[in-house]
Each structure stands twice: as structure tokens, then as C-alpha cells.
């Protein structure tokens, strides 16, 4: 089986490449591929002729998308429309990676696949548009909504957790501030990408699926658990998320659960493997 991955160098894309290692995988990312250049995208798909195409490429970050909405809507929205149309024309299975940010966080409990999306910022809106285009233009599609993720660090692209750990290990801070009003279902990327492979290989019914490690947690408590497992004697100061200046609204409580799939292991169990990854990559000792 042949797989084409767009956005293959990011945290999710890298893990997908490993998860599908027994397939014939072609991975592309910038600068090799600009998914907003329609003729290039069409030629790549036609030349590769994959059985499945996974789009993990996206403009990420609440603030960057809020500050450049035109680019966010182009990359996360219109580009996906063209990919979906091309997959439909060529008879390919299309997998679109989405996010918990399609919800506003006001439900007060876990969000399931049947809950109505209602984003509160440009990033979530652009990803919801990607879902609409995917389902509208391709009959053979999967949409996988992922929550806050953690996994193998990307070279030169530290994300929230890695940035906090850099402050501890390199800047030698002894206190970290973390939001105490953001509730999430943090999830280990390899668990998510292994499940994606299983669902695709099993030819699970097309549609929208939530993928997340089991359970939910307040972000500040998640950071406390991470530091404890890492053996770092650092205090965590809980603060409201508004303490961190940002231009985009936050979907503060959007933990995910699936009403269609068996649950994955708990986020606490997965976090132990992540700490192992951090040691293997020299982020912590």
C-alpha cells in the first residue's frame, strides 16, 4: 500500500511516517511542497498515486492564525478543499488531521464526535473549514480530531512543553507558571498515529473520529505530573490563562472522547513514555 503524507516533518507527520513504516511512504513538507500551490499539489498526488493521502500540514498556533487570518484560511481551508477534490477525482482515501479547537470549550464535559463545533478563534475556524471541505468534496475521507499533543521533540521547533523544560534545564528557573483554567485531554502522538494506522488498515467506516489518551486534566496539574516523572524539583504556580498575553481567545475546556472507538490508555501512562523520549533526546537527564 502506498501512502502520501503532507506535513511529514512536524510532530504528527514524523510519527505517522514511523507508524506506517511497513507501507510505501512518501513524505513531503515545506520547502519541498507548498500546499497552497494547486498545480504542484495536483502533480504530486498524480505522480505518487497513493492509496491514501494524509494531510498533517497546517498553519498552527492560536496567535499566529489570529494575526494573519488570510494565510490561516488559505493553508488550513482552501488548500484542503483542493486536496479533497483531487483525492475524489483520483479515487484516493483522504485523511485530514483536525483539532479540539473546533469547539468553544463551554460544554463543561468531554466533547464527542456528535457535538456541534463552534470555534472561538481563527485557528479553530480554519480547521473547521478544513473539515467541511473534506466531507463536502471527498466521499472516502477520515477526519481525526486531536487534542493537546506531546511527543518526540522537533529539532529547532520546540513546542509549549519543550519551551518550559528549556527554561528549567538551560535558564535554571525554579518556578514555572501554568494555566489552572485550561482543561484538556493531553495525548501522546505515537498512540494517536498508531490508532490512525489501525483504523485505516482495518478500513473502518469513513467519517469523523476523536483520538485522545483517556482522561482529562488541568494544564497546571499536567505540568506538575510531568516535572515529577522527570525528577525535576520545580514548583508550578497556577495562574489564569489570561496571564499569558495573546491575541486569540482560548477554548479553555475542550477535552475529547470518542463515542465510536475503544479508549486509548490513560494520559498518565503515556506521559511516562514521553519522559523516556525526553531523556533519549537529551532534553532532560
**Structural domains present in the chain:** 2-149+186-210 (3.40.50.720), 152-184+216-280 (3.90.25.10)
Q: Is the pTM of this model over 0.75?
A: yes
pLDDT the model gives residue 162: 86
pLDDT the model gives residue 243: 77
Please check whether residue 61 is in contact with residue 10, taking contact to mean a CB–CB distance below 8 angstroms. no
Show pLDDT as tens, one digit a residue, over the chain (285 residues): 999 999 999 999 999 999 999 999 999 998 899 999 999 999 999 999 999 999 999 998 888 999 999 999 999 999 999 999 999 999 999 999 999 999 999 999 999 999 999 999 999 999 999 999 999 999 999 999 999 999 987 766 778 888 888 888 888 888 999 999 999 999 999 999 999 999 999 999 999 999 999 999 999 999 999 999 999 999 999 998 887 767 777 878 999 999 999 999 999 999 999 999 999 888 888
Look at strands 207-210 and 93-99 and give their pairing: unpaired
d(CA 18, CA 222): 26
H/E stretch holding 52 reads strand 52-55
Please check whether residue 51 is in contact with residue 93, taking contact to mean a CB–CB distance below 8 angstroms. yes
Which are the contacts of 59, defined by CB distance < 8 A and separation ≥ 6? 65, 68, 71, 72, 75, 76, 123, 126
- Using a 10 angstrom Cβ sphere, with 0-12 exposed, 13-18 middle and 19 or more buried, the burial of residue 242 is exposed
Helix (H, G, I), strand (E, B) or coil at 164: helix
pLDDT the model gives residue 155: 64
pLDDT the model gives residue 160: 86
pLDDT the model gives residue 245: 61
Please provide the size of the chain in residues: 285
Amino acid at each position: 500500500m502506498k501512502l502520501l503524507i503532507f506535513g511529514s516533518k512536524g510532530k504528527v507527520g514524523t510519527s505517522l511516517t514511523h507508524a506506517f513504516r511497513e507501507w510505501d511512504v512518501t513524505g513531503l513538507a515545506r520547502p519541498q511542497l507548498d500546499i497552497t500551490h494547486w498545480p504542484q499539489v495536483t502533480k504530486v498526488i498524480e505522480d505518487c498515486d497513493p492509496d491514501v493521502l494524509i494531510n498533517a500540514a497546517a498553519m498552527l498556533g492560536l496567535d499566529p492564525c489570529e494575526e494573519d487570518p488570510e494565510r490561516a484560511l488559505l493553508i488550513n481551508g482552501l488548500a484542503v478543499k483542493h486536496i479533497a477534490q483531487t483525492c475524489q477525482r483520483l479515487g484516493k482515501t483522504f485523511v485530514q488531521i483536525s483539532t479540539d479547537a473546533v469547539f468553544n470549550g463551554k460544554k463543561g464535559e468531554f466533547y464527542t464526535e456528535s457535538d456541534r463545533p463552534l470555534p472561538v478563534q481563527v485557528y479553530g475556524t480554519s480547521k473547521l473549514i478544513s473539515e467541511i471541505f473534506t466531507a463536502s468534496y471527498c466521499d472516502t475521507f477520515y477526519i481525526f480530531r486531536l487534542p493537546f499533543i506531546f511527543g518526540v521533540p522537533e529539532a529547532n521547533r520546540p513546542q509549549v512543553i519543550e519551551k518550559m523544560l528549556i527554561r528549567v534545564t538551560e535558564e535554571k528557573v525554579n518556578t514555572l507558571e501554568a494555566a489552572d483554567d485550561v482543561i484538556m485531554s493531553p495525548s501522546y502522538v505515537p498512540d494517536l498515529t498508531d490508532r490512525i494506522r489501525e483504523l485505516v488498515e482495518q478500513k473502518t467506516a469513513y467519517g469523523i473520529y476523536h483520538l485522545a489518551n483517556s482522561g482529562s486534566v488541568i494544564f497546571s496539574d499536567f505540568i506538575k505530573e510531568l516535572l515529577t516523572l522527570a525528577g525535576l524539583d520545580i514548583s508550578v504556580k497556577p495562574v489564569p490563562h489570561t496571564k499569558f498575553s495573546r491575541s486569540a481567545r482560548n477554548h479553555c475546556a475542550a477535552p475529547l472522547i470518542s463515542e465510536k472507538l475503544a479508549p486509548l490508555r490513560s494520559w498518565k501512562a503515556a506521559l511516562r513514555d514521553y519522559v523516556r523520549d525526553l531523556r533519549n533526546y537529551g532534553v532532560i537527564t
